A and B are shown apart, each in its own frame.
Chain A
């Protein structure tokens, strides 16, 4: 080994030593400010294109809550870790947050494949409450039914069943006779793709073909062609913006129809701008509904002021609500441990409680009511959320269309209507 190599070796070893030193010198408590802080944890895929805005929205909710006074007078610090969409990375991050940072509440994850092992091997055994914005798998309902979530699991993602029914209803109301389906080939996409196809069959509408769209394919040309040649009247899209843009551009460039029906995940500025508004005028989408009140625009306005774009993207309103409900439940709980906080969630989402909107004034009012032992009805970004015994939410639905400035609501379907329509499907 020559001298140069030796000096380099020394350089590298000193770098490693420095890193090791940082590990030792930076105990998790070092971030503690002079004022009291309360920590919660979040594990979200911040290194993935659609994951970062979800995390930014969660941080925004925390900021807003701190502005209104924080949990029990203490500032909330949300420790955010990346999952890299790799289950073992996400589970490890969750375990570190629970064991080292001692968080009583964990927000996340996005993919069901990450949330599930976190639930079964970290949060449920440790008695930590877990609230996911976006995990849609039906398996969580099964776990909850078996009592294995210990009531610690919640998700603000409205069940796929209702959304699929509304998709079928939109297709029927527009009078399409044949529909081709593109669905994202993950647990959510497979679920909603199959449900919509089954509902359409029941309604007597032909599904010409369903094409699974895998992530990160160099080209979607073959998938587009395979649906194009079946000549459907309209297309149902259950995709995320990234592959949605790529696929719809390919679809249009090959002369495909502009009669689109889209899932809530495509309600995004990125998708509208990526494809081009001029091609999306006929698109109609479905989503769960925001609250039907004068203050319905609270969240949208605050979000637009902060990010200078509307909160349109997969999981953004859900992420906001997941954090808000968790923090309100912490304020409602007598003690800050997971089980007590989880048990306080019904006090936040009590339909008979005082309606509360998630702005600074509303949150202050909420805290006073909770301190007085009263219940509140949180009117969040996805509506007046109510969890059932399994931590699932059912929500009323809306139909929306794109406009030059953002998204416009086209129709509103109260929960009763949605349920009635589902009843006609299962008849």
Chain B
């Protein structure tokens, strides 16, 4: 029970991290971006390549941080990969979504994003192969916090939890304390009025994609750190992320973080009462329940 509770929170923190990026894009650009899944995968794979490049330059970079299975070069690689993924996200927007935003509704964009997802996922499969990969082949063993009741925790997961909290708070401060953040909010709430007030729509959209891509990449690296890299990693993750974002209410950063924890906890605790075969359905049953009580999610506003 205690272990399931902690498992839920720690697995949930990865979902929270991913859902924050997703909810931001869904809020500002007003469509459910399925290719967010592939931004997650791209971030993870770019980090893999860059990590190999950096360690080839200097062996010193390969040393692990204390307690964690994260090396210095991996952190550096992640930072560069964030930037690349963000820029690629903005380029995809310019090539595809920009035109559709002007001429069609959000649903057309949703299915265009699905098509883009198909393309990117299979290009990754062709380039890196279909088999799963790891940043480090060592297994990061869990620390035994207590043996009765059994409680085991991995240092990596605490690191991810801390990172999630950091991202959540700094993003919230950015959105609610800086003028750029206000501008982003204004664009999402009333684009026409925002433009009248001199906000440059094109540059704000670019910024939103940079942010969204970077957040997806962080989530991808953290997920791969704890599990593995595979071309379908983003696809496997993204449904749970949508679940988390929607439970929390679209656009709410705290809501997404909380939603991630709820989905993680639900999947973990549910196995105490139902057979494991039914696990994929659990997050969605939670959503049905939450939406039945609150049709716009926990923190969402009607719009």
Direct contact of A and B (CB under 8 A): yes
**Known contacts being A221-B268, A226-B272, is A52 close to B223, with CB within 8 Å?**
no
Cβ contact within 8 Å between A226 and B132: no
Cβ contact within 8 Å between A214 and B280: yes
For A189, the closest partner residue in chain B by CB is B277
**Known contacts being A216-B236, A222-B11, is A242 close to B272, with CB within 8 Å?**
no
Report the bound CA distance from A274 to B152 in whole Å: 23
Residue-wise, chain A 235-263 has the 8 Å CB interface mask toward B (1 for contact) of 00000001001100100111100000000
Interface size class of A (residues with CB under 8 A): 20 to 34
Cβ contact within 8 Å between B122 and A242: no
* Cβ–Cβ < 8 Å partners of A246 in chain B: 132, 227-228
Cβ contact within 8 Å between A252 and B223: no
For A252, the closest partner residue in chain B by CB is B139
Residues from 138 to 153 in B contacting A, C-beta threshold 8 Å: 138-142, 144, 150, 152
For B281, the closest partner residue in chain A by CB is A214
Cβ contact within 8 Å between A223 and B144: no
**Known contacts being A218-B240, A225-B268, is A242 close to B142, with CB within 8 Å?**
no
Cβ contact within 8 Å between B137 and A276: yes
Residue-wise, chain B 1-35 has the 8 Å CB interface mask toward A (1 for contact) of 00110011011001100000000000000000000
The answer to whether the Cβ of A131 comes within 8 Å of any Cβ in the partner chain is no
The answer to whether the Cβ of A412 comes within 8 Å of any Cβ in the partner chain is no
The answer to whether the Cβ of B125 comes within 8 Å of any Cβ in the partner chain is yes
Residues from 194 to 229 in B contacting A, C-beta threshold 8 Å: 223, 226-228
For A220, the closest partner residue in chain B by CB is B227
* Cβ–Cβ < 8 Å partners of A223 in chain B: 271, 276, 279
User: Which among A217, A252, A276 is the interface contact of B279 at CB below 8 angstroms?
Assistant: A217
Report the bound CA distance from A253 to B134 in whole Å: 15
* Cβ–Cβ < 8 Å partners of B140 in chain A: 253
Report the bound CA distance from A216 to B132 in whole Å: 12
* Cβ–Cβ < 8 Å partners of B240 in chain A: 218
CB distance from B8 to the nearest CB of A (A): 8
Report the bound CA distance from A185 to B142 in whole Å: 27
Cβ contact within 8 Å between A229 and B3: yes
User: Which among B8, B142, B275 is the interface contact of A255 at CB below 8 angstroms?
Assistant: B142
* Cβ–Cβ < 8 Å partners of A279 in chain B: 139
Cβ contact within 8 Å between B275 and A212: yes
**Known contacts being A214-B279, A249-B139, A252-B141, is A222 close to B134, with CB within 8 Å?**
no
Residues from 143 to 179 in A contacting B, C-beta threshold 8 Å: none
* Cβ–Cβ < 8 Å partners of B124 in chain A: none
CB distance from A265 to the nearest CB of B (A): 15
CB distance from A2 to the nearest CB of B (A): 11
CB distance from A15 to the nearest CB of B (A): 15
Cβ contact within 8 Å between A221 and B236: no
Interface size class of B (residues with CB under 8 A): 35 or more
Residues from 106 to 149 in B contacting A, C-beta threshold 8 Å: 122, 125, 130-132, 134, 137-142, 144
Cβ contact within 8 Å between A245 and B7: no
Report the bound CA distance from A222 to B3 in whole Å: 9
**Known contacts being A223-B279, A229-B3, A252-B139, is A216 close to B235, with CB within 8 Å?**
yes
The answer to whether the Cβ of A201 comes within 8 Å of any Cβ in the partner chain is no
CB distance from A39 to the nearest CB of B (A): 26
The answer to whether the Cβ of A219 comes within 8 Å of any Cβ in the partner chain is yes
The answer to whether the Cβ of A332 comes within 8 Å of any Cβ in the partner chain is no
**Known contacts being A214-B279, A242-B230, is A222 close to B268, with CB within 8 Å?**
yes
Cβ contact within 8 Å between A218 and B14: yes
CB distance from B159 to the nearest CB of A (A): 14
For B8, the closest partner residue in chain A by CB is A222
Cβ contact within 8 Å between A253 and B141: yes
CB distance from B75 to the nearest CB of A (A): 21
Residue-wise, chain B 230-262 has the 8 Å CB interface mask toward A (1 for contact) of 101001110010000000000000000000000
Report the bound CA distance from A267 to B15 in whole Å: 33
User: Which among A212, A219, A273, A275 is the interface contact of B277 at CB below 8 angstroms?
Assistant: A212
* Cβ–Cβ < 8 Å partners of A252 in chain B: 139, 141
The answer to whether the Cβ of B267 comes within 8 Å of any Cβ in the partner chain is yes
The answer to whether the Cβ of B154 comes within 8 Å of any Cβ in the partner chain is yes
The answer to whether the Cβ of A425 comes within 8 Å of any Cβ in the partner chain is no
CB distance from A98 to the nearest CB of B (A): 27
Residue-wise, chain A 40-62 has the 8 Å CB interface mask toward B (1 for contact) of 00000001110010000000000
User: Which among A52, A255, A274 is the interface contact of B130 at CB below 8 angstroms?
Assistant: A52
The answer to whether the Cβ of A205 comes within 8 Å of any Cβ in the partner chain is no
Report the bound CA distance from A129 to B7 in whole Å: 50
With contacts A226-B271, A228-B150 known, what are 20 further pairs, Cβ within 8 A? A49-B132, A49-B230, A52-B130, A214-B277, A216-B235, A216-B236, A218-B223, A219-B14, A222-B267, A222-B270, A223-B276, A225-B268, A228-B3, A229-B150, A253-B139, A255-B141, A255-B144, A273-B137, A274-B132, A279-B139
* A–B pairs, 10, beta carbons within 8 Å: A214-B277, A214-B280, A218-B223, A219-B227, A222-B268, A222-B279, A255-B141, A255-B144, A270-B131, A273-B137
